């Protein structure tokens, strides 16, 4: 009996011990990175189960586990770690970086994730902290200077600037050269990316070559910007709340430097109401200024002296307030993320304003083999800006505020005319910029909805399929108006009488995008892996617009079509296009060191449709092949303490481009004319003046690319030196250009396949980690990019393509794009030929004045981290190209530029000239006496304002070399210990500046920012600006 009792007691004690081992307890701790900074978002899973959590903003976590259980810690870009639970209830450690782990997050196309070793094309990946470092509210502008081969061109400035994304420059003569934007695996636009709140972006992957085209279509031929937004947390029961608030101040960065010797006047005499600076030298005397107001004898007075900031004083300090509130949560089987952003910008120009409300919802859930996810984004924008006055055909009648400011003589204090009256003004020959700001306005309302959903089914570990749909709807309405003004003065030349006008526009566009994709993943043998997909894509795009334009508003301040008394010109316009395609992608991997990628796409596009063409006639096929070889994996003996990785990749891509073809009109453009020869109210229709060849084919881009990637001195998972190089060669064949046709056909031109260009592009990126300790790290990166395009062929009957003087042209056998314009006649030594009267001779026809593409662009970035501090900077330098400055031309005609004061405003020997027929340098034949005017000063003014100087484009071509300090950012994350026992889980503050420094060649003198205007630098909405921001981020 005793023996039996002992046995039972032993079993009972063993059971108790087993229970004690199986009893759950709460494990907690803090996870940091290699520098000691907390790591939010680390995934923690109880091995063998679906139970898991994530670290919060401060790297803290809690999870229930039992002794003997194993916790798995994983984070993208870091080595995973397993920890067995013992009696200790605290598990804290620093995760070790692993560059190889980054392989999991490179999104190449349609959601395909590949390791860097598998990617066969040149790419660059930017993380969230790099995008938001300088608090730029525009995600497109935030990319500037950070990727070699990537150019962000600002088309116009102001409260809501327009931008263009170029990868490897301009190659197509007539088609769109902009890179394709893809957001969350769905084709999008640069405009939508600009609207996207940068705070919700997880990463942006830049595919520099056209390899993404087979999966995204012909629009991917110019490279792809792949954007991935943040998804919700997978920490069960945890609601993450974050609040970000930013205040940004904007000021004028620089204005044109002006001559400081001569003031307002004409022919050397002071003129109280002339806008030119053709008066006598400054002498400090008191002089009347402007038009008499309110009586003929009542003038304002100014000291006749140079006032350096007289234009700058017109501009306000711009202020932008931006707030973002985000909520996220989820578990191992689902997630959700909700974000709301509100932005308000008060511009530099009085009364200019931009307001934006942005809302985004993202959610997903897995049900066994089924998964569903979706995104909903809504953007509402209101823009109110000053503008120029345009005629019904778009011709500029009067310039905007910045244009009118250039007519203010330097001795005039512009702020004394801030009442806004166009009569209380300093000149009879221009409008007050204050009046312009109040009376020439463009107001636009824009609403965009972006809805997408994805449903996928996993048949087994090898096969899965999905359907993805996206619909984007954009509606816009706007008015552009100018009010009446009748000058009360009878000054000769006063042409400022303005008739009120109104243009009312409304437009709507809708794009429906659908993918059906099936993925196949097989381990064919122990050494060979297959990843492939086949898919179908359909895209429908519709656009419609209505416009009404008229003059003579009956009631001032009422901007409706019904208030137009002078008749209206009404137009309706609508287009529709459809694309359908089947595509395939195959990736083969051998022993994790040799990879092959093949793609193919058969596409049909309605833009190729014409009478008599069958569906098979509007289809076209393109394909690509690429390979990657990791030499240090294939031959381990190549690896050493110095060399850690050597990757060689390259491939060939053939892709179509039909962006030069317009979508089909649903009906001819109708308009209601309001003048002779048609009576007002008679409807008419415009017959299209251009067409295209019935056998038109797409432009085809053939690309060869070779890349090399090297890593050196790897320690702790981080290479201290990385070196990446890329070479690409493009031929753009069959380009669609316009050729003249017989007028008997009722059209003037037809699109035909004739143009051809070739492009060579180089990129080199060097990354360094000079210093790394437990608390401190210094990163440095350098980028070099060079691109050159040659126009090999234009059309059969012409070797020049372009228009205007100056204008952007393609010239057969020359670089593209070029600026052509009027120039002086020169001898074989390059000297300007003057006649016996000293008059420089203008050459017949247009001449090449320079190229608009830089010889190269250098990027520079650096980052210092010390405990919770982070300091970063981004800069770039570009040179070897030119631009034409319209501002320089206008300031010269008004006598305000430096060049007008260099010769003392008298007779002079034209620089670098030779008298016609002499063959020697000119030393004594003076320029000036043959031009009109009662004095030497007057004749000099007449020369400057003549076709022999301001009428010669060559004189206003400037070196476009520029160095830009694009951004500097300093941030600090408060240590967690200071937030204990509070409801705040994280606090970070930051200061940043953008466009802090721009260094230009002396000849530019601040006339234009060469980056604005694509080679022809005119009057933007505002001068170049710089920004200062302060940001606070809170996590709860």
Residue pair 391/478 in contact (Cβ under 8 Å)? The answer is no
Residue pair 120/211 in contact (Cβ under 8 Å)? The answer is yes
Under DSSP, the state recorded for 435 is: H
Residue pair 461/449 in contact (Cβ under 8 Å)? The answer is no
* Distance in angstroms (rounded) separating the CA atoms of residues 874 and 866: 19
* Distance in angstroms (rounded) separating the CA atoms of residues 508 and 475: 4
State how beta strands 690-692 and 749-772 pair.
Answer: parallel
* Count of beta carbons in the 10 Å neighbourhood of residue 297: 6
State how beta strands 353-367 and 224-229 pair.
Answer: unpaired
Domains and CATH numbers, the chain: 21-97 (2.60.40.1120), 101-242 (2.170.130.10)
Which two tokens mark 191? 């405009």
* Count of beta carbons in the 10 Å neighbourhood of residue 219: 24
pTM listed for this prediction: 0.84
pLDDT in tens, 388-401: 655 555 555 556 77
Return the bridge partners of 364, or none.
335, 373
Which two tokens mark 871? 């300091």
Which two tokens mark 621? 């096929």
* Distance in angstroms (rounded) separating the CA atoms of residues 468 and 453: 6
Residue pair 860/782 in contact (Cβ under 8 Å)? The answer is yes
Which two tokens mark 732? 């753009």
Which two tokens mark 280? 């006598």
SS3 category, 764: strand
* Distance in angstroms (rounded) separating the CA atoms of residues 997 and 974: 30
Residue pair 861/780 in contact (Cβ under 8 Å)? The answer is yes
pLDDT in tens, 902-945: 888 999 999 999 999 999 999 999 999 999 999 999 999 999 99
pLDDT at 495 (0 to 100): 55
pLDDT at 394 (0 to 100): 54
* Count of beta carbons in the 10 Å neighbourhood of residue 805: 16
State how beta strands 24-32 and 240-252 pair.
Answer: unpaired
> Phi, psi (5° rounding) for residue 15?
-65, -40
The residue whose two tokens read 């359908």 is 580
Annotate 47-100 with three-state secondary structure.
CCCCCEEECCCCCEEEEEEECCCEEEEECCCECCEEEECCCCCECCEECCECHH
> Phi, psi (5° rounding) for residue 376?
-135, 125
* Distance in angstroms (rounded) separating the CA atoms of residues 870 and 443: 41
Which two tokens mark 286? 């008191």
Distance from chain centroid for Cα 164: 5
* Closest alpha carbon to 989 in 1003, 1005, 973: 973
pLDDT at 498 (0 to 100): 81
Residue pair 926/913 in contact (Cβ under 8 Å)? The answer is no
SS3 category, 105: helix
Mean pLDDT in order along the chain per 10 residues (1036 residues):
46 43 77 78 84 83 89 82 88 75 59 84 89 89 90 79 85 85 88 88 88 76 89 72 94 92 93 88 89 59 88 91 92 88 93 94 93 95 82 56 82 81 73 86 94 95 95 94 76 65 93 95 94 94 91 89 84 89 94 94 88 80 94 93 94 89 60 46 54 79 95 88 96 79 48 87 96 91 96 88 90 94 96 96 95 95 93 96 92 93 92 94 94 94 96 95 95 85 87 95 91 70 88 91
Q: How far apart are the first and last CA of the chain?
A: 64
* Distance in angstroms (rounded) separating the CA atoms of residues 477 and 413: 38
State how beta strands 568-590 and 594-605 pair.
Answer: antiparallel
Residue pair 182/225 in contact (Cβ under 8 Å)? The answer is yes
Dmax (CA) of the chain: 140
Which two tokens mark 914? 């030779």
CA distances from 105 to 119, 220, 497, 520, 644 (A): 12, 21, 62, 19, 21
Residue pair 944/955 in contact (Cβ under 8 Å)? The answer is no
Distance from chain centroid for Cα 225: 11
* Distance in angstroms (rounded) separating the CA atoms of residues 33 and 31: 7
């Amino acid at each position: 009996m005793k023996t039996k009792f002992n046995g039972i007691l032993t079993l009972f004690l063993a059971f108790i011990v087993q229970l004690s081992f199986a009893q759950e307890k709460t494990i907690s701790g803090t996870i940091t990175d290699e520098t000691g900074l907390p790591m939010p978002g680390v995934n923690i899973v109880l091995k063998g189960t679906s139970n898991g959590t994530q670290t919060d903003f401060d790297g803290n976590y809690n999870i229930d586990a039992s002794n003997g259980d194993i916790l798995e810690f994983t984070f993208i870009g870091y080595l995973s770690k397993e920890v067995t639970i013992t009696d200790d209830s605290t598990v804290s450690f620093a995760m070790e970086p692993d560059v190889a782990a980054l392989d999991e997050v490179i999104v190449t196309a349609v959601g395909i994730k590949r390791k860097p070793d598998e990617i066969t094309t040149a790419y660059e990946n930017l993380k969230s902290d790099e995008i938001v470092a300088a608090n730029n509210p525009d995600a497109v502008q935030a990319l500037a200077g950070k990727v070699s081969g990537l150019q962000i061109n600002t088309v116009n400035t102001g409260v809501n600037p327009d931008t263009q994304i170029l990868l490897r420059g301009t190659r197509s003569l007539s088609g769109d050269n902009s890179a394709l934007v893809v957001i969350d695996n769905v084709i999008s636009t640069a405009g939508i990316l600009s609207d996207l709140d940068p705070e919700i972006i997880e990463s942006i992957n830049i595919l520099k070559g056209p390899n993404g085209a087979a999966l995204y279509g012909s629009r991917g031929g110019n490279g792809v910007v792949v954007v991935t937004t943040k998804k919700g947390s997978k920490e069960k029961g945890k609601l993450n709340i974050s609040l970000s608030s930013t205040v940004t101040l904007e000021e004028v960065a620089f204005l044109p430097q002006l001559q400081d010797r001569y003031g307002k006047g004409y022919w050397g005499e002071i003129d109280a109401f002339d806008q030119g600076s053709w008066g006598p030298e400054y002498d400090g005397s008191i002089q009347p200024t402007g038009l008499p107001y309110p009586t003929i004898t009542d003038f304002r007075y100014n000291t006749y002296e140079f006032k350096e900031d007289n234009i700058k004083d017109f501009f306000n300090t711009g202020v932008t307030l931006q707030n973002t509130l985000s909520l996220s949560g989820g578990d191992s089987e689902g997630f959700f993320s909700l974000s709301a952003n509100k932005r308000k910008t008060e511009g530099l120009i009085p009364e200019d304003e931009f307001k934006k409300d942005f809302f985004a919802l993202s959610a997903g859930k897995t049900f066994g083999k089924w998964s569903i996810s979706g995104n909903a984004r809504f953007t509402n924008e209101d823009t109110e800006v000053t503008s120029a006055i345009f005629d019904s055909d778009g011709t500029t009648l009067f310039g905007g505020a910045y244009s009118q400011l250039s007519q203010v003589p330097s001795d005039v204090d512009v702020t004394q005319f801030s009442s806004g009256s166009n009569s209380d003004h300093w000149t009879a020959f221009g409008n007050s910029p204050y009046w312009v700001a109040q009376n020439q306005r463009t107001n636009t309302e824009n609403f965009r909805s972006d809805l997408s959903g994805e449903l996928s089914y996993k048949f087994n570990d090898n096969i899965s399929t999905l359907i993805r749909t996206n619909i984007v709807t954009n509606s816009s309405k706007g008015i552009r108006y100018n009010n009446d003004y009748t000058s009360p003065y009878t000054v000769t030349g006063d042409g400022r009488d303005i008739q009120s006008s109104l243009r009312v526009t409304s437009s709507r566009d809708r794009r429906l995008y659908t993918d059906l994709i099936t993925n196949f993943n097989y381990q064919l043998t122990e050494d060979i892996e297959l990843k492939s997909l086949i898919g179908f894509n359909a895209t429908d795009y519709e656009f419609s617009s209505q416009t009404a334009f008229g003059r003579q508003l009956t009631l001032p301040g009422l901007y409706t079509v019904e208030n137009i008394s002078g008749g209206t010109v009404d137009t309706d316009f609508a287009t529709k296009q459809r694309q359908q395609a089947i595509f395939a992608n195959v990736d083969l991997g051998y022993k994790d060191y040799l990879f092959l990628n093949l793609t193919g796409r058969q596409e049909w596009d309605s833009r190729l449709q014409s009478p008599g063409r069958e569906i098979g006639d509007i289809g076209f096929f393109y394909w690509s092949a690429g390979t990657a070889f990791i030499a240090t994996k294939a031959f381990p003996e190549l690896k050493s303490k110095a060399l850690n990785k050597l990757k060689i990749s390259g491939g060939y891509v053939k892709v179509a481009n039909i962006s030069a073809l317009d979508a089909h009109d649903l009906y001819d453009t109708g308009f209601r004319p309001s003048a002779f020869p048609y009576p007002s109210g008679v409807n008419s229709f415009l017959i299209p003046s251009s067409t295209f060849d019935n056998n038109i084919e797409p432009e085809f881009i053939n690309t060869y690319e070779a890349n090399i990637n090297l890593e050196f001195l790897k320690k702790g998972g981080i290479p201290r030196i990385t070196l990446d190089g890329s070479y690409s060669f493009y031929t753009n064949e069959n380009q669609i250009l316009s050729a003249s046709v017989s007028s008997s056909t009722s059209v003037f031109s037809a699109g035909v396949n004739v143009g051809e260009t070739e492009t060579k592009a180089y990129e080199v990126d060097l990354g360094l980690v000079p210093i790394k300790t437990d608390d401190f790290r210094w990163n440095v990166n350098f980028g070099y990019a060079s691109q050159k395009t040659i126009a090999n062929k234009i059309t059969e009957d012409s070797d020049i393509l372009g228009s205007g003087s100056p204008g952007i042209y393609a010239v057969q056998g020359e670089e593209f794009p070029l600026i052509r314009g009027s120039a002086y006649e020169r001898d074989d030594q390059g000297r300007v030929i003057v006649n016996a009267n000293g008059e420089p001779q203008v050459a017949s026809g247009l001449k090449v004045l320079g190229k608009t593409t830089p010889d190269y662009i250098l990027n520079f970035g650096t980052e210092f981290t010390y405990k919770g501090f982070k300091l970063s900077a981004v800069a770039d330098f570009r040179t070897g190209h030119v631009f034409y400055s319209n501002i320089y031309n206008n300031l010269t005609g008004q006598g305000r530029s430096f060049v007008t004061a260099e010769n003392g405003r008298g007779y002079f020997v034209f620089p670098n000239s030779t008298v016609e027929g002499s063959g020697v340098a000119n030393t004594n034949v003076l320029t000036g006496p043959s031009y009109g005017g009662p004095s030497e000063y007057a004749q000099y003014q007449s020369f400057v304002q003549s076709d022999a100087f301001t009428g010669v484009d060559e004189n206003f071509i400037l070196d476009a070399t520029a160095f830009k300090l694009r951004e500097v950012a300093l941030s600090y994350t408060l240590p967690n210990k200071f937030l204990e026992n509070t409801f705040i889980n994280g606090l970070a503050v930051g200061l940043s500046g953008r466009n802090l420094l721009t260094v230009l060649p002396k000849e530019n003198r601040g006339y234009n920012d060469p980056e604005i205007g694509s080679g022809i630098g005119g009057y933007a909405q505002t001068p170049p600006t710089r920004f200062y921001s302060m940001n606070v981020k809170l996590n709860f």
